[in-house]
């Protein structure tokens, strides 16, 4: 009797262990599937409550449609303030199809950019792009989009070599500015010209030096991503001018989270939430290695990536999750920052970068001349081109086409 009971007990324990194990494995597998699915949603659209749609339409989910009748929205050579870093045709690019693509959301149409309407909205106001050279490229795109609607003599560009560049539409008393702050918080890369330093250092808890220049803006457009792409960051507690500062190497994702916390705390305290519209541009993907084969980048590329939902090595979903979590927390505290999710739509456009077709600020070496692949710019974007669509999305949000 005792032996039979013991045997039955062992059988029961074995069955229980198998059930628990099955549940555990299912949970683990389910987690992996959910995690992968969330990454896909995050890049394609958004899993965050900060995402916006109108009429049930996700502006970020769609496809590129060739349109050589309505695009480009301006001509490269006619933009008064075009940047030589982005003027690909001027520097020898002959395949200009990259200028003729329109973004088509799946369930609706993206509003057509109206320069006069936006200038009226900006009358007596200031729109500021804050971030790195990709945000500066979007700012140049915005200036070019508005340029043709402003008569000669009624527009002015002011750049005194500081971090702030101001474009003014005099008739509207409207200012469209760019402020160089590649990591948003203070860093040793804050000089707008001499910022390529081998040892990057951030003061992850200090933003006042930058923020005082844009806190009172009416519309703020932020980005920060590319300058964080390294395994660790050197974080400084203290001042660059003090000898008693504490330096520590911190995991990149943790330091990125710290910096965005500093940024969000500043916004919560100092920004007038009844006046200022705020936006955060998601990461702009690079195509330095756009497929698994080594040595393949955007050089000589003339066609898009056609794989739906493609996500390359130049995109980091973990960083996007930190941004979304930060924005969601701000929203819980009553401050609305909208994320403009440009990542997936830009992923497809491996042919949209300057590659070798831009002004070279430093003389090329003989090695570079003999192998153009190694100096091709697969980070920034030709204009007219992809950043114009980013601004069309921003335009839709500014005019509340997209609202919760």
Which of 92-106, 190-204, 242-256 has the lowest average pLDDT?
Answer: 190-204
* Residue 61 and residue 45 in contact, taking contact as beta carbons nearer than 8 Å: yes
Does position 108 have pLDDT exceeding 50, yes or no? yes
Q: For residue 362, what pLDDT band results from cuts at 50, 70 and 90?
A: confident
3-state helix vs strand vs coil in the chain, percent to 5: 35, 15, 50
Strand blocks (E) in 218-342: 219-222, 232-237, 246-251, 277-281, 337-340
**pLDDT attached to residue 113:** 97
Residue 219 vs residue 244, higher pLDDT: 219
Does position 46 have pLDDT exceeding 90, yes or no? no
Does position 316 have pLDDT exceeding 50, yes or no? yes
Does position 403 have pLDDT exceeding 50, yes or no? no
Distance from chain centroid for Cα 186: 19
Over residues 136-147, the mean pLDDT reads 98
Does position 33 have pLDDT exceeding 50, yes or no? no
* Residue 102 and residue 71 in contact, taking contact as beta carbons nearer than 8 Å: yes
Q: For residue 161, what pLDDT band results from cuts at 50, 70 and 90?
A: confident
**pLDDT attached to residue 8:** 55
**pLDDT attached to residue 42:** 61
Over residues 151-176, the mean pLDDT reads 95
148 secondary structure, DSSP code: T
Does position 74 have pLDDT exceeding 80, yes or no? yes
Residue 245 vs residue 122, higher pLDDT: 122
263-310 pLDDT, tens digit per residue, is 999 999 999 999 999 999 999 999 987 665 556 789 999 999 999 999
Over residues 135-142, the mean pLDDT reads 98
* Residue 242 and residue 152 in contact, taking contact as beta carbons nearer than 8 Å: no
**Are β-strands 201-203 and 126-131 bridged in parallel, bridged antiparallel, or unpaired?**
unpaired
CA distance 158 to 169: 12
Over residues 144-158, the mean pLDDT reads 97
Q: For residue 47, what pLDDT band results from cuts at 50, 70 and 90?
A: very low
Residue with tokens 């989009």: 145
**pLDDT attached to residue 241:** 84
Nearest-5° Cα angle at 49, 60 to 268: 110
Does position 22 have pLDDT exceeding 70, yes or no? no
* Residue 252 and residue 228 in contact, taking contact as beta carbons nearer than 8 Å: yes
**Can you read off the two tokens belonging to residue 237?**
């507690």
Does position 52 have pLDDT exceeding 90, yes or no? no
208-234 pLDDT, tens digit per residue, is 999 999 999 999 999 999 999 999 999
Average pLDDT, the chain: 87
CA distance 293 to 72: 33
**pLDDT attached to residue 358:** 95
**pLDDT attached to residue 243:** 80
Torsion of CA 38, 305, 91, 364, to 10 degrees: 70
Does position 239 have pLDDT exceeding 80, yes or no? yes
Helix pair angle (386-398, 133-147), 10° resolution: 80
CA distance 263 to 273: 15
Does position 196 have pLDDT exceeding 70, yes or no? yes
Would you please indicate which residues are annotated as catalytic (active-site) residues? 133, 377, 380
**pLDDT attached to residue 289:** 75
Residue 338 vs residue 50, higher pLDDT: 338
**Are β-strands 155-158 and 164-169 bridged in parallel, bridged antiparallel, or unpaired?**
antiparallel
């Amino acid at each position: 009797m005792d032996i039979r009971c013991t045997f039955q007990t062992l059988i029961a324990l074995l069955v229980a262990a198998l059930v628990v194990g099955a549940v555990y494995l299912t949970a683990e597998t389910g987690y992996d599937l959910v995690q992968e699915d969330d990454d896909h949603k995050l890049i394609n659209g958004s899993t965050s409550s900060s995402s916006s749609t109108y009429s049930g339409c996700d502006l970020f989910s769609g496809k590129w449609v060739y349109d050589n009748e309505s695009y480009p929205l301006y001509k490269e050579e006619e933009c008064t303030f075009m940047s030589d870093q982005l003027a690909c045709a001027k520097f020898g690019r002959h395949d200009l199809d990259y200028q003729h693509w329109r973004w088509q959301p799946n369930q609706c149409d993206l509003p057509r950019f109206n320069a006069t309407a936006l200038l009226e909205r900006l009358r007596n106001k200031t729109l500021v792009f804050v971030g790195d050279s990709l945000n500066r490229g979007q700012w140049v795109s915005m200036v070019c989009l508005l340029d043709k609607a402003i008569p000669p003599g009624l527009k002015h560009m002011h750049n005194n070599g500081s971090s702030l560049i101001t474009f003014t539409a005099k008739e509207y008393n409207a200012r469209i500015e760019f402020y160089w702050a590649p990591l948003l918080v203070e860093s040793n890369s804050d000089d707008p010209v001499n910022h390529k330093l081998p040892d990057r250092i951030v003061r992850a808890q200090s933003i006042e030096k930058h923020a005082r220049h844009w806190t009172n803006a009416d519309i703020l457009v932020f980005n920060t991503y590319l300058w964080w792409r390294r395994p660790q960051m050197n974080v400084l507690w203290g001042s660059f001018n003090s000898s008693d500062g504490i330096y520590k190497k911190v995991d990149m994702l943790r330091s990125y989270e710290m910096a965005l916390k500093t940024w969000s705390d500043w916004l919560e305290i100092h920004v007038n939430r009844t006046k200022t519209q705020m936006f955060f541009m998601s990461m702009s993907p690079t195509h330095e290695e756009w497929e698994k084969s080594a040595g393949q980048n955007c050089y000589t590329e003339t066609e898009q990536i056609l794989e739906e939902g493609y996500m390359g090595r130049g995109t980091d979903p973990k960083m996007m999750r930190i941004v979304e979590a930060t924005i969601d927390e701000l929203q819980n505290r009553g401050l609305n920052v909208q994320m403009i999710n440009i990542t997936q739509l830009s992923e497809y456009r491996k042919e949209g970068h300057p590659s070798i077709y831009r002004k070279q600020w430093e003389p090329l070496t003989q090695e570079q001349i003999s192998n153009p692949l190694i100096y091709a710019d697969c980070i920034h974007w030709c204009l007219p081109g992809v950043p114009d669509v980013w601004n069309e999305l921003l335009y839709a949000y500014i005019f509340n086409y997209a609202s919760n």
